[in-house]
Amino acid sequence: MTPEVQLFTDGGCSGNPGPGGWAFLLRHPASGKELECSGAERETTNNRMEMMAAIRGLEALNRPTRVELVTDSVYVGRGITRWLPKWKANGWRRHARKKTADIKNEDLWRRLDELLSQHRVEFTHVRGHSGHPENERCDTLAVAAYRGMMKE
């Protein structure tokens, strides 16, 4: 799949849980246009912020689009590629120790699932803090977002 857009994302927290931030960089390779966006929450987790970055980036798209989602979050990647289909088949439940259990962050997984159904998304994993320019940029934006909120 040749992507129409590349969506780079990152999220993080100061403490887990604690204040957290998310950020995305959306790039249209054909035109070179880019959109950056970030936000923060006072009490959240790293995984929720990773998910929010992907959600907000996909929400920024105006029409069904082929997307390469580039993230350092194994949680988001496995959720998209492995866990979501099983959870949906099991009525939004997961198997845990021979019984079913609640899905952590179900509200965000459901929203992400809605957005994934509107777009063709391919997941690409990059190592965090490894010098990947767009991942580093998103990390900088996410950290600035929650630090800025903490000063308010």
CB atoms within 10 A of CB 45: 20
This prediction has a pTM of: 0.94
Question: Would 33 be classed as within a structural domain?
Answer: yes
Distance spanning both ends of the chain, measured CA to CA: 43
- pLDDT at position 151 is 83
Q: Does residue 43 fall inside a structural domain? A: yes
Residue 58 burial class via C-beta count within 10 angstroms: exposed 0-12, middle 13-18, buried 19 and up: buried
Task: Examine residue 83 and state whether it is found in any structural domain, yes or no.
Answer: no
Supply the DSSP symbol for 98: T
pLDDT given for residue 101 in this prediction: 85
pLDDT the model gives residue 1: 66
The answer as to whether 30 is a domain residue is yes
Residue 73 has pLDDT above 90, yes or no: yes
What's the number of domains the chain is made of?
1
Q: How far apart are CA 91 and CA 48, in angstroms?
A: 21
Does residue 18 fall inside a structural domain?
Answer: yes
Q: Would you say residue 31 lies in a domain?
A: yes
What domain range includes position 39?
Answer: 5-74+120-151
pLDDT exceeds cutoff 70 at 54 = yes
Residue 113 maps to a domain: no
CATH number, domain at 128?
Answer: 3.30.420.10
Split at pLDDT 50, 70, 90, the class of 25 is very high
In a domain, 61, yes or no: yes
Q: Please identify every residue annotated as catalytic.
A: 10-11, 50, 72, 129, 139
